[in-house]
Every structure is written in structure tokens, then in C-alpha cells.
Structure 1
């Protein structure tokens, strides 16, 4: 691969296109600033704007909302060696800047396949990787015809989105009409309707996994398979763990599917996060994402010794990564996130944080949303906290999370007033233990 800093001595220079996503400013500091000089191009979301004062302290920064010619001139003058992003919404801007500066990154055609889930489904079907019924849904007027074509149950979601935002499971024409009316109040982008892939239920563990991969000069390496906790309605993630509880045969099938999917999306370089549903008929692709998964680096570092933020930067800079080998986990490393109820509009308090930290097997407890915190009602995965830990096996992990979450309670403001609820983990365990309640 190309030599970093050719014609110039000193540390490698990396552009990071920064937005709300899989990597926090603190993680950038821990993973990158010891060995690389960073130029952070900061996005325009409220989160990114709020983070900019901190980002200014750790690296040189520019803002994405300035005139494009001016931005590119600044970046050329800085003489970068590479460019990357860890945020879904910055994939297209990163590809645009990389093309202008002659830096290695996904082609725009590949970015479009990674961002546009309808185009991705079409490509995977044409390549013979997987056929999944997926139909563009331009508006509510086309809903009855689209629903008839796809069949129930189906999923309505944005063609371009992240974090399960505006994603709904639909069981009838009438329910879909209601959902589309509600969506129109807050979302104007293009939608798709696609068949719901039914997984093998095994609560409290989820019926899906993710494959973490890296691609260098078209060569794909799979770093690990992340297990997941059960999904909360409508499609809210609760965290994950390494390794996933799959047999050797299942592992081979999952990795073969991921390999074929990535190969047919023309991915030549970068970090990939592929979500896979485990079904009675074998693994099926949920979606392929052109960046690392949220909070995955913590588990990767603890379980395998690989810092995938660091790895992604080294790939972007053209550095040799052949010596990076994932260690086989000797325990189960996990992180669980509590989520608020869907009707809550404010988190008012959290109780039990100090007690959780003392539970054997819990290595840390962190609150992400510090009360009082507003809660937007957009059906996007929104995490209040994280319980990190390690266990002998998956059964031991469940016991640790039972004990830890029993100590937590949360206060919320809902339309009817103020309420107190136990941890979401505890609520779900109680619900499933109730006679007559579906698992």
C-alpha cells in the first residue's frame, strides 16, 4: 500500500468527518491522538455543534457548513494522508471530499449502495446473495398497492436512515395507514416497505447478530460476530456481547453470507458493520453499513484486543494492518443499555447507579442521559445508560444483568404525569415471566 507521509516526516495526518454516530470525541482521543494528527470536519447536527468546543481542544477543526471550495482549500493546504468517518450520515460527504483530494475511500457508487437500503436490497438480489421483497413507497397514496405486493408482516423504514429511526413493523393495511399519517408529521424523506425477516426467538438474547469486518484493497477480513440482546418495539437495540452464542456451523454460514454481501457491494476499503438475522432457514442479511457499529469498539477492545477505531484510521492512511489479529475471547464481554418507554418525553432521575457498580461481573456503569433530559419521540434507539461487564458464559451474563438491573429505577414524565419504572431489562424479564404473555 502507499507509504504514509510520503515526502514529509512526522506523524500521519488524518481527516475525520465528525458527526453523531458510532464514535464519541473521547474515543477519538483514546484511540487516535497519541499517534496521528487529526483534522476534524464537524457536521451540522445539534450534537455535533454542541461537541465542537471539546473537539477544538483535541484537534484542528473545520465546519462542514462553510463554502465547499473554501473547505477543500483548507484541507489541501493541510496536506492529509487519509480520510475516514465513523458516522453514518457523513458517508456521502466523506466520499465527496475524498474524491476531490484524491484520497482512498469508498466510491460514490458504493456509498450509495451502503446508504440507500432499497438500492442495497436490489443489488444483493441481482447478485444472487439474497432476495428480500423491498418496494419503494413514495407516499401514502401508494400504500395499499405496496402492502399487497410485499405482504404482511412488513417493515416500513426510510430508504436512507440510521439508528432504527422512523422504522415500524406493520401487520395490516389499517395499521400502516395510521403509521404513515403519524410519520408525515415529522418525516418527509423517501420510504421503503420490505418483508419482515422472522428470526428464531431466544429472549433475553436477540434473534440477530452483527459481523464486524475490515476491507483492505478489496480483501475482506472478518474480526468477529457480535451477539445482541432482544429488540424492543418497534426496533430499538439494547446492546450486545462478544462472542455471539452461535455454533461452528452457524458461524461459518454467517461469515459466508457476510463475505458474499460485501463482495457484491464493490467495497474496496474501510470498516463494515453487517447485521444478520438468524432464521429457521439460516442467516439472512438485514443490512450492510459502511462504518463501525455503535459502541462496538468497547467490546472489540475488551474481547479481542482490537481497537477498531484505530484499525479504521490505519486502513484509511494506507498503513500495514496484517499484524492485527483478533484474540479469541476467554469470557463473554457485554454492554447493556436501558431505554425509556416510548411515551416518555423527559427523564427526570436515575437511582441505583452506585449500587450497580458493586455487582460482581459489572466492570463499569455509565449514564449517557443526565437528568433532566428531554426524550424525542422519533422511535430511534435512545440509550439512557450502559452496564458493561464480563461473564464466564452467556447464562452467567444474564444472571449478572438480572442482579444489576434490579438495583436501577428511573423517573419519567409522560403525558399522564410523572411515573417511576424499573430498568427496561427488568420490565421485559417480568413481562415474559407473566403467564399468557408472549415471549
Structure 2
């Protein structure tokens, strides 16, 4: 493998630990490459491997899958000024490399907290931020004891999960046993069984929000609260919008809770994405993530003029980030994603795309899963497309999405044959109007 080049220090040098996640290579190009030198440490997922040729074109790149001593020697020779990641599965490796190189980042224990859903619950209970019944679950053999401690309904999800993969709502012992048996062939890691936090229904809006925050030298600043659309079963997200439809009192309660939770994590530097359920008893933390949220950067740029990818890089490099403020937008900026049905095995067609692009209020319509594309049948969040747009208020946003999704339909190969189905949004809206 070719060694990285040790160049002069006319520009800041940033190591980015790259994997499939919240930021694309194109965003790195648009947000960072013009003003900083970048060295990509490329992960081992099929996505990262497929992107490797392009990654080598946009920046220097080395592979994570090599002896650690050799990797560290290459990085030291390059003499980086900072290190960061925008990918969930690279949070702990980034902390480990940062510690070896003496670069600012979260400590390894903090990185493990940000990555491990069970450890998060333990820490928040210890600090008094929030108590959530939660048990680590190694496998089916511990299921009945875990269920007895947590109670039904409960959620089973991987301790080191992302994108709602293998995340299920469980209502009985029998359902949980069958689920753990089925998942055993697909996932060998530990699970967490935790109480299901029941939100207040707000259809067509979701019963949860996310808080986008940044940390500079241990100081936490909250940039905004992102609203969400209703969840598709079991826990598949459909996108979000900025700002969220919350009252001033709700906003204060949400930010106070997130601040108390994050204060207990001993955060050092970087971007944080916290999901919060809105319940009858007030806000409750769903989980904390040590990176920017998926697709959040687009809304932050359109709604508040803040490039979170660039901000994360500047924080990592120790550049001036004082008084980071995102102005409250005068419009609603949104992203909506269609998702395939769980019984679909392939998507074979998208109908109405050109008409959708012409709807007033739509700024772009992009297809992510270009037909024909295979679907793995998992319950993780997987998006067919994205509708980006803006509206004068939340009601106007709903009107735009009603019109767009009435124009869209999708062809699938399913277990029962070939079918054409309307956008899920249209079915959901019809149900709420009954």
C-alpha cells in the first residue's frame, strides 16, 4: 500500500474516519476539501469498499483494515492537526486513534458511551438525568429474565446499533423468543431490552424530535430541534423538518433534559445528535449519537445557513467556532423519505418522479434506490427517495407533501407477486382523516 504524503503545513490537515453513515463523500468535497487537506481512513463495509475508488480521487486515503501499528505510522507521518468522524460505527475507532496520536476527540470511555445503547442508559440513571428500565441481553437464554425485569411492552435492539436495524417492539415472551431465534443467524452481537417509551401521538407528525448539538472544548451548544414524521413500524424513520412544532415550554424542557444527559457523558469535542420522545409526562431521551444526524446537514444549511460538516471539521481542527448560533428560520424546511414495505424483495419502478419535482414548494426530488434494486427485508430504516422542500408553515408543508405523494407510486416484487403501491404517506394521511 502506498504511503501517505507528508506535505508542507500551508493548510490544516484533518483525518476523517470514513464509513457508511450520515455524511457522503460529496458533502466532504463541498464542505471541507477547498480549505483543508483531508486524509480518509476508509472502513470495511461493502459501502465503504464500493466508494473507495472515488474516495482516492477526492483525497488521500488509507484503509482501516490493516495492522494498527502500520496505520498509526502512516498517520503520524502525515502530521494531522485534527481527527473526526461522521459515521456511527467509527466513533470508537476515532477515539482510539485520537488517543494514540494525541489529537483532541472524546475519550475512549466517552466514545463507548456514545456507541453503546445500554451503557447510555446506565450512565443517565447514575447521573439522575433519566431512569429507563434496561437490561443487556446476550441471547435467547437470558430473554425471560430480561423480560421480567423490564416488563412489556419493551424494545429489543442491538447495543451497538444504527439505522433501526434489528430493532423491534415486543409485547410477549413468545414473540421475543421467536424474534431472538430468527435474528441469531443475522446478528451475533449483544442486545439491549428496554422499556418502550410511549409518546403522545401527534399525527402526521412523529411523537419524537432530535436535538442537534456541538461540543467545543467540553462546552455544549444546542443548534436546533428537528421535527419528525410519524414512525413506520417497527421503528423506521421517514425524515424530518426544521424547526419542530413544539411550544416554547416544550422546547425549554427538551433542551434542559438533553443538557443534563450530555453533561454526564464527559464530552470533549464534535457534533451530537440526540433523539427525544415527547410523552405525556414530558420529554425522555431515546438515545444519544456522537455524530451529526443522517440528512440533518442539508436542513441545517437550508434552514439556518450552518454547514454542520464544515463545523465538525473546524471543531476537530481547533479553529474559531465561538458563538455558534443557528437563527430560527422564517420558513419550514423539510425532507421526506418514502420507504419500501417490509414484504418487498425488490423495487422495480418509481412512477411520478418528474411530476413530483414540479410541485410548488419542492426544491428537489432525488431517488436513492434506483430500480431494479434488491431489498433485504430487514426492519432497518432504508429510504427509496427524498423530497426536499420549503413551506411557509407546518400546514403548508403537509399540503406540499400531500400533493407530491399523491403523484408517486412504486413497483415492487413481493412475497406474493408483483405489485404497484402508493406512497405510504398517502395511506397514513387517509387513516388520520377517518
> Structure 2: how far apart are the matches of 1:90 and 1:60?
18
Structure 2 length as normaliser, TM-score?
A: 0.97
Q: Which residue of 1 aligns with 2:42?
A: 42
Is 1:318 aligned to residue 324 of structure 2? no
Matches within 5 A, 1:380-419: 380-419=380-419
Tell me the CA shift for residue 146 of structure 1: 1.4
Q: Which residue of 1 aligns with 2:57?
A: 57
> Structure 1: how far apart are the matches of 2:271 and 2:353?
34
Q: Which residue of 2 aligns with 1:174?
A: 174
| Partner SS state of residue 341, structure 1 | coil
Is 1:152 aligned to residue 152 of structure 2? yes
Is 1:128 aligned to residue 149 of structure 2? no
C-alpha contact (below 8 Å) 1:356/1:404 kept by paired residues:
yes
Q: Which residue of 2 aligns with 1:338?
A: 338
Q: Which residue of 2 aligns with 1:278?
A: 278
Q: Give CA-to-partner distance per residue, 1:359-418, whole Å, 9 cap, x none.
A: 010000000111111111221100000000001111111110000011111011111111
Q: Give CA-to-partner distance per residue, 1:105-153, whole Å, 9 cap, x none.
A: 1100001111111111001001000000001112212212211211111
Q: Which residue of 1 aligns with 2:80?
A: 80
Q: Give CA-to-partner distance per residue, 1:264-322, whole Å, 9 cap, x none.
A: 01111110000000000000000111000000000000001110110000000001101
Q: Which residue of 2 aligns with 1:437?
A: none
Q: Which residue of 2 aligns with 1:3?
A: none
C-alpha contact (below 8 Å) 2:276/2:286 kept by paired residues:
yes
| Partner SS state of residue 192, structure 2 | strand
Tell me the CA shift for residue 431 of structure 1: 3.5
> Structure 1's 9 and 43: CA in aligned 2 closer, same or farther, altered over 3 A?
closer
Task: Name whichever of 309-318 and 132-141 sits farther off.
Answer: 132-141
C-alpha contact (below 8 Å) 2:270/2:312 kept by paired residues:
yes
Aligned-pair Cα RMSD in Å: 1.2
Is 1:24 aligned to residue 24 of structure 2? yes
> Structure 2: how far apart are the matches of 1:380 and 1:34?
35
Tell me the CA shift for residue 9 of structure 1: 4.2
Q: Which residue of 1 aligns with 2:239?
A: 239
Tell me the CA shift for residue 324 of structure 1: 3.6
Q: Give CA-to-partner distance per residue, 1:21-68, whole Å, 9 cap, x none.
A: 000111111111111110011101000001111111110110111221
Q: Which residue of 1 aligns with 2:162?
A: 162
Q: Which residue of 2 aligns with 1:220?
A: 220
> Structure 2: how far apart are the matches of 1:24 and 1:244?
25
Q: Which residue of 1 aligns with 2:361?
A: 361
> Structure 2: how far apart are the matches of 1:213 and 1:142?
36
C-alpha contact (below 8 Å) 1:306/1:324 kept by paired residues:
no
Q: Which residue of 1 aligns with 2:66?
A: 66
Structure 1 length as normaliser, TM-score?
A: 0.96
Q: Give CA-to-partner distance per residue, 1:307-358, whole Å, 9 cap, x none.
A: 0110000000001101542121110000000000011111101011110110
Tell me the CA shift for residue 428 of structure 1: 1.9
C-alpha contact (below 8 Å) 2:236/2:379 kept by paired residues:
yes
Is 1:192 aligned to residue 186 of structure 2? no
> Structure 2: how far apart are the matches of 1:344 and 1:433?
27
> Structure 1: how far apart are the matches of 2:265 and 2:292?
16
Q: Which residue of 1 aligns with 2:115?
A: 115
Structure 2: gaps of 5 or more residues: 1-6
> Structure 2: how far apart are the matches of 1:376 and 1:192?
23
> Structure 2: how far apart are the matches of 1:197 and 1:208?
10
Structure 1: gaps of 5 or more residues: 1-6, 435-439
Task: Name whichever of 276-285 and 92-101 sits farther off.
Answer: 92-101
Q: Which residue of 2 aligns with 1:210?
A: 210
C-alpha contact (below 8 Å) 2:134/2:192 kept by paired residues:
yes
Tell me the CA shift for residue 17 of structure 1: 0.5
Count of aligned residue pairs for this structure pair? 428
| Partner SS state of residue 156, structure 2 | strand
| Partner SS state of residue 345, structure 1 | strand
Tell me the CA shift for residue 93 of structure 1: 1.1
> Structure 2: how far apart are the matches of 1:300 and 1:398?
20
Q: Which residue of 1 aligns with 2:201?
A: 201
> Structure 1: how far apart are the matches of 2:360 and 2:15?
41
> Structure 2: how far apart are the matches of 1:117 and 1:367?
31
C-alpha contact (below 8 Å) 2:16/2:83 kept by paired residues:
yes
C-alpha contact (below 8 Å) 2:221/2:324 kept by paired residues:
no
> Structure 2: how far apart are the matches of 1:168 and 1:47?
25
C-alpha contact (below 8 Å) 1:118/1:136 kept by paired residues:
yes
